[in-house]
Amino acid sequence: MANQQAVTYDLSDSAQNEKIDSSEFEWVGSDTKAMETISRPSISFWKDALSRLKKSKVAMVCIIFLVALILGAVFIPIFCPFNYAQQNVAYSNQPPMWVDNITHNAHIFGTDTLGRDIWVRVWMGARVSLTVAFAVTLIDCLVGCIYGGISGYFGGGIDNVMMRILEIVGGIPYLIIVMLLLVVLPRGLMTIIIAYSITGWTGMARLVRGQVLGIRKQEFMIAAESMGAKPSWVIARHIIPNLVSIIVVNVTLDIPNVIFTEAFLSMLGLGISPPQSSWGILAYDGISVFQVYPTQLLFPALFISLTMLAFNLLGDQMRDAFDPKLRR
């Protein structure tokens, strides 16, 4: 073994000392064009996230469905020949695609027990449900971001006091708030929005606070504070922009919860007052005649289910698209 090691050492040593003839090399010069080419274009975080979102077929189908739903809720009640509150008991409980012999207009989803057109009432219900969902989500997002950002940024005693207040507010049952508000306020769209907004912002505040606690010790935060930046400026310019992706995903997932809550309250008689229409009221009316006329419950239940499914699937796809760990 010793002899073999010695031979190996001698060979490697001779190979190192051997000189290579310069004629074996050829000077090709420097390629300035290749030096200046960009191997991969630089794209921002938002462009990369949106490009990955566009590649998702599930996300695009959900977006198309939700855009069509919003446009239908806005324009169909306007151009429909029937009014959502128009009653005609002579045409009650008609099947889908029933044609009126006098006006020759088709009732696409049929009529209910009072002879009202279910098609226009479903789209009016979509308008009410989406209005409540977007209004409540916007209020919860603004209040939660401000409250959670202040609590997480300052920390210490301020954070403890603000978190105790948040726990007290979050511990109040939502139905109790609705019932108390109905004592002093009339039933309607605004009452539901106010009632849900009183406690709905707590989840967003907790999420923002947790993210701010992780961001506040980053290098750019230390640099901004060392340069004398005010807390309000740091929160508005540094913290909130870094939370936009998380906030957008959480808002997308929060909208179906609000839609379901509004439908649930309307079914309990605590939501929109008749003759206004909402998906909850339509479902409640359809339950009473479900065994005889099942389509009166099927159509609003189908719209509620598809809308909640679309928002949930879109939220899941957006969470994957905005995840920085998945960037390539």
CATH label of the domain that carries residue 290: 1.10.3720.10
Q: What is the pLDDT of residues 113-140, one digit of tens each?
A: 888 888 999 999 899 888 888 898 899 8
Q: Which residue has the higher pLDDT, 254 or 37?
A: 254
Q: What angle do CA 136, 138, 143 make, to 5 degrees?
A: 95
Residue 93's φ and ψ, nearest 5 degrees, are 55, 45
pLDDT at position 325 is: 58
Q: Cα separation of 221 and 239, whole Å?
A: 9
Residue 140 belongs to some domain of the structure: yes
Mean per-residue pLDDT for 80-106?
80
Residue 12 belongs to some domain of the structure: no
Q: Cα separation of 314 and 53, whole Å?
A: 9
pLDDT at position 60 is: 92
Residue 194 belongs to some domain of the structure: yes
Domain assignment of residue 309, given as a range: 62-326
The number of domains in the chain is 1
Residue 6 belongs to some domain of the structure: no
Residue 41 belongs to some domain of the structure: no
Q: Cα separation of 197 and 191, whole Å?
A: 10
pLDDT at position 34 is: 61
Residues in contact with 132: Cβ distance below 8 Å, sequence separation at least 6, in sequence order? 189, 192, 193, 196, 258, 259, 262
Residue 308 belongs to some domain of the structure: yes
Q: What residues does 106 pair with on adjacent strands?
A: 99
3-state SS class at 322: coil
Residue 269 has pLDDT above 80, yes or no: no
- pTM (predicted TM-score): 0.75
Residue 47 belongs to some domain of the structure: no
How far is the CA of 149 from the CAs of 153, 198, 208, 241, 252, in angstroms? 6, 18, 6, 12, 20
CB 221 within 8 A of CB 215: yes
Q: Cα separation of 85 and 161, whole Å?
A: 50
CB 100 within 8 A of CB 161: no
The first and second tokens of residue 208, run together, are 């923002």
Residue 88's φ and ψ, nearest 5 degrees, are -155, 95
Q: What residues does 99 pair with on adjacent strands?
A: 106
Report the mean per-residue pLDDT for the chain: 80
Q: Cα separation of 183 and 193, whole Å?
A: 16
Mean per-residue pLDDT for 87-106?
80
CB 53 within 8 A of CB 317: yes
CB neighbour burial string for 43-55, b if at least 16 within 10 angstroms, e if fewer? eeeeebbeebbee
Residue 126 belongs to some domain of the structure: yes
3-state SS class at 117: strand
Q: What angle do CA 222, 227, 230 make, to 5 degrees?
A: 85
Listed range (17-21, 68-72, 183-187, 189-193) with the worst mean pLDDT: 17-21
CB 185 within 8 A of CB 178: no
